[in-house]
Amino acid sequence: MIVTVTLNPCVDRTLFVAGLRVHDTNRVTQTEIDAGGKGLNLSRVATRLGAKTVALGFLGGEAGDYVRLRLAQEGVPERCTPIAAPTRTNVSIESGDGPPTTLNEPGPSILPAEFGALRAELTTQAETGEWVVFAGSVPPSLPRTVIADLARCAHEAGCRVMVDADGEVMQHAMGECLDFIKPNRSEAERLLGRSLPEIGDVAAAAQELHQRLVAQGSDLGLVVISLGADGAVMTSPRGTWHGLPIPVEARSTIGSGDSMVAGILTALTSGLSESEALRYGLAAGAATAMTSGSDIGQRADFDALLPQARVQPLS
């Protein structure tokens, strides 16, 4: 089972306009509303791919009720902790002339009793899970060490741990025994303090990060660096591979990285190899890139794309 932990979920509201005019009136041509948050996206995609999963996180207010409703409609099991403060709403403006303009709220205040309840639920779920995934941002009321602390808790319960975060939160988490990380190119550059312009540079970076995870005690140390239109690079104890991009018409990249992780973990929990898991990740990420706004990939699109997913070994 894949346990996802989303400490700062949201309602995603996407507004479509015909060109964004700053300091002027803009006419919205279409609006899309969906549940958001990296871990929730992962659980939703994993459910569509047939994996067993449960979503944990903090949900409050009408926005939190909406997120619960969306998860229930999609058959995604959740054990989210109720909180007094309302779940945040994030707004994306799709103007048709480049990447979306995003307006992200910081997130709610989490009370000590609420955090304790989530921690207890995590311990319970980790005792029977295979993977615990911590993904996304952290509410401002929680310390930047919170994912590192919860990762330690999950490991003590006997679960493998995956973290998809950035900045100071990720730096702290890297001090724990992590089994899987998936930075994008920019995040990997921040982790290592250098630019990674070529595939060879990315491969060397993945291998270096792999060694860091192994040094912390992981027997897997799986590293995937996602590269958008250039695919992804994966390193495991069995080698390094370049996952080639699948040619699709990308309508929105929101959720593509979460979908890639969902595909990889679905394959790994099914007993497939790391290189085959990368193929699953490529197909799941591309399926989501084909959707508009904050929507996520459909199983039929994943099935159609999987035969096109190719990986090649790197030295």
DSSP character string of 95-117: -SSSSPEEE--------HHHHHH
Would you say 274 and 206 are in contact if contact means Cβ atoms under 8 Å apart? no
Structural domain count of the chain: 1
Candidates 258, 295, 301, 303; catalytic one: 258
The Cα-based distances of 217 to 81, 135, 175, 177 in angstroms read 31, 21, 11, 6
The Cα 233–Cα 249 span in angstroms is: 21
CATH label of the domain that carries residue 165: 3.40.1190.20
**Residue 26 domain-assigned (yes or no):** no
User: Is 245 inside any structural domain?
Assistant: yes
Q: Which residue has the tokens 């009408």?
A: 62
CA distances from 80 to 52, 64, 83 (A): 16, 10, 9
Closest CA to 200 of 238, 236, 242, 228: 242
Task: Check residue 228 and give its pLDDT.
Answer: 86
Residue 24 falls within a domain, yes or no?
no
Q: Is residue 220 part of a domain?
A: yes
* Within-domain flag for 93: no
Q: What was the pLDDT predicted at 96?
A: 84
Report the amino acid identity of residue 3.
Answer: V
Q: Is this model's pTM higher than 0.75 or not? A: yes
Tell me the three state secondary structure of residue 141.
coil
Nearest to 275 by CA among 305, 221, 236, 225: 236
Identify the CA nearest to 236 among candidates 192, 194, 287, 281: 281
Q: Which domain holds residue 160?
A: 2-7+38-88+99-314
> Which residue stretches of the chain have pLDDT < 70?
252, 293-294
Residue 19 included in any domain: no
Q: Active site includes 258?
A: yes
In this prediction, residue 290 carries a pLDDT of 86
Q: Does any domain span residue 148?
A: yes
Helix pair 38-48, 61-73: axis angle to 10 deg: 20
Going by the DSSP 8-state scheme, the letter that residue 49 receives in this structure is: T
Q: What does the pLDDT read at residue 289?
A: 87
Answer whether residue 53 is part of any domain: yes
